[in-house]
Amino acid sequence: MKPIIEVNHLTKEYQLGHITSLRDNLLNTFKRLGRKPVQQRESFKALDDVDFKIEQGEVVGIIGHSGAGKSTLLKHLAHISNPTKGKVIVRGSIAPLIEVGAGVNPEMTGRENIFLNGAILGIPKKIIQQKLDEIIEFSELEQFIDTPVKRYSSGMTVKLGFSIATSLDADILIIDEVLAVGDMAFQRKCFDKMEDMINRQGKTVLLVSHNIRQVERLCNRVILMDHGKIFAEGDPTEVCNLFFNQSNEKIKANVSTSTHKNVTQTDDMLYKKTIIYNNDNNDVDSVECLSPMRVIVHFDVLKPLKNICFLIGVHTPDFLYLTATNSIDEVKDYLPGEHQVEMAISSMTLLPGVYSIRVWIGTPEGKVSFYAENLKNFTVVSEDHLLTRQQEMGLFYLDAKWRFDAIDNAIALESA
């Protein structure tokens, strides 16, 4: 059987800058007629020789950083854009769930929008009528279904959009970031619905998401795109791992250039720098998971200070405070001059990823002398594959021990 989707050497170029004016167009035409060089605009390859096939029933995830060309690729599959070079062959009906709710009209009521969007997605009116109750029930909007959508909250609008979209019945489903919507309970529901469509109904699905865990769980093949090219393709776990490594580097590059946030500075002291030392006493940016490390903060005290304690904490690049340690039991008095404070950690139990240091200096009563977040970025790395994989499972490593015991009646069963 022929593959349901074939993408042959697909290249898409966009011209940068504005559309040429009518005048420029005419001038260019004259120049071309007169065989004079024409002023060309810079072009940008959104897709560069992309080539793959998808078989019937496959669930393929497409991942990559923003601007890698994922959405452009989907637009070509959905026949919205046309290739500059190459060919896209789709054998079957295709249902684009690209940004659910694009067709939702604010002036119309929920019910009217169900019919309108159904028509836009190509669902026959009869089927919509049959499924109307089901759609309304799924959207959890029974009470508001005859209210204009402009009075809905944004979450409600999205719920409505997704409920309509999932009632679609096509051979190929294209899903672009739809699950990043609504409250947790609704996301769960959407996810279940999608798993149902994928596993039980055997549809061919293309899933674009930044939620890598979701992609890895749902897909049986993953394509990693980078700068308009296919960077890697194959087993979900391997490709997703590759993507994680890529993102960690990228996050670090971004974070280290970003400025400190939430800074409180007083004329008590002047913050100098934060240094991280690894086990071998080297000044580093990355530390091995489960190995010792030391954090040292340098600062200039500008006037005599009494009862000073320190708090050194760790947060993620999106400012989720993970942990903090303070020296409240060992308050110090300081005289003007340069000082440093060291916090030694016997084992770095954060799982591989990018983290940042925050520092608070002040009195136990709460008078702040200095506070800043995002002072120093570091990566936790590990050679251990199992630890790297745990990144999406959570943030901390727990030193757990397992025991496997049989209970009495199990022994009885075994011996019987």
Partner 1 sequence: MIKTVKSLYTYRELIAALAWKNIIIRYKQSYLGIFWAVLKPIMLMLIFTLVRSFVGIESDDLPYPILTFAALLPWVFFQESASEGVGSVTSNAVLIKKIYFPREVFPITAMVTKLVELTISFVLLAAMMVYYKMMPSIYALWIPAIIFYTMIVALTISFFGAAINVYYRDMAQALPVFLSLLMYGSPVMYPLSLVHKKLLVEQAAGVWSNDLYRLYTLNPLAGIIDSFQRVLLKGLPPDFNALYPGLMLVLVLLPISYVFFKRAESWFADVI
Instruction: Please identify which residue in the block is written with the tokens 């089927």.
Output: 127
The reply to whether 261 sits near partner 1 by the rule CB under 8 A is: no
Q: Residues 6 or more apart from 297 whose CB is under 8 A from it?
A: 271, 273, 274, 310, 312, 340, 341, 342, 359
The reply to whether 102 sits near partner 1 by the rule CB under 8 A is: yes
Q: Which of 47, 44, 45, 43 minimizes the C-alpha distance to 8?
A: 47
The reply to whether 398 sits near partner 1 by the rule CB under 8 A is: no
Q: To the nearest whole angstrom, how small is the minimum distance from the Cβ of residue 21 to partner 1? A: 8
Contact yes or no for 262/371 (Cβ under 8 A): yes
How many residues belong to the site for partner 1 (CB under 8 A)? 28
Q: According to CB under 8 A, which one of 27, 108, 242, 296 is a site residue for partner 1?
A: 108
The reply to whether 135 sits near partner 1 by the rule CB under 8 A is: no
Q: Which stretch binds partner 1 (CB under 8 A): 97-105, 178-186, 210-218, 254-262?
A: 97-105
Determine if residue 219 is left, alpha or beta; phi over 0 gives left, psi from -120 to 50 gives alpha, anything else beta: beta
The reply to whether 415 sits near partner 1 by the rule CB under 8 A is: no
Q: Which of 189, 217, 173 minimizes the C-alpha distance to 56?
A: 173
Q: According to CB under 8 A, which one of 92, 124, 202, 304 is a site residue for partner 1?
A: 124
Q: According to CB under 8 A, which one of 16, 22, 33, 400 is a site residue for partner 1?
A: 22
* Token output for 70: 């994922």
The reply to whether 120 sits near partner 1 by the rule CB under 8 A is: yes
Cβ proximity to partner 1, 112 vs 140, nearer residue: 112
The reply to whether 115 sits near partner 1 by the rule CB under 8 A is: yes
Q: To the nearest whole angstrom, how small is the minimum distance from the Cβ of residue 147 to partner 1? A: 13
- Got the DSSP string for 18-59? SPPPHHHHHHHHHHHHTTPPPPPPPEEEEEEEEEEEE-TT-E
Side chain identity at 264, as an amino acid letter? T
Residue 282 three-state SS: coil
Q: Which stretch binds partner 1 (CB under 8 A): 111-119, 281-289, 333-341, 376-384?
A: 111-119
CA 76 to the chain's CA centroid: 23
* Token output for 34: 């007169």
Q: According to CB under 8 A, which one of 67, 122, 155, 364 is a site residue for partner 1?
A: 122
Residue 218 three-state SS: helix
Please report, as ranges, the residues that interact with partner 1 according to CB under 8 A: 14, 19, 22, 75, 78-82, 96, 98-99, 102-103, 105, 107-108, 112, 115-116, 118-122, 124-125, 148
